[in-house]
Amino acid sequence: MNVTAAQPAKHESELSFVAFALSECTVRADPQTAKYLRAVHRTALELAVPNYFGATVGGFWLTNEHIARLRALPEHYPANEAPAAARAVNAYLQAQLQDLYLGD
C-alpha cells in the first residue's frame, strides 16, 4: 500500500482578503469620472458593514462581496455613462486601498 501525503500547491497562500475599512482618501480622477464619485462613495457606505470586526475595532467595512457589488454599479447607468462610472469605482477602490499596498 502506497500512502502519500497531500502537499499544498506551490505558491498557495493560506491568507485571504476579508475586508477593508473605508477611510478618508484622495481620489484622483478626470472631471468626467469625478462627477460619479459621490454616487460611488454613497453606495460604498450603504454596502459597508459597520463594526464588522466588533465595536472595539469600529469602522465601516467592505468585504469581497461588497466590492463585487460596488463594481456592478456602472451597470445601472446608461451605456454612454457606464465607462465613466466604472472608472470612478476603480479610482475610488484604488484610493481606498492605497495604504494597504503602500503602507502608512
The pLDDT of residue 35: 97
42-45 CB contacts, 8 Å cutoff, 24+ apart: 43/70, 43/73, 44/70, 44/92, 44/96
Global pTM reads: 0.78
Q: How far are the Cα atoms of 2, 34, 97 from residue 78, in angstroms, in the given order? A: 61, 17, 28
Tens-place pLDDT, residues 2-48: 444 455 556 666 766 678 889 999 999 999 999 999 999 999 999 99
How far does Cα 29 stand from its chain's mean position? 17
Distance set, CA 27 to CA 12, 20, 52, 58, 81 (Å):
33, 17, 24, 23, 19
- Helix, coil or strand: residue 77: coil
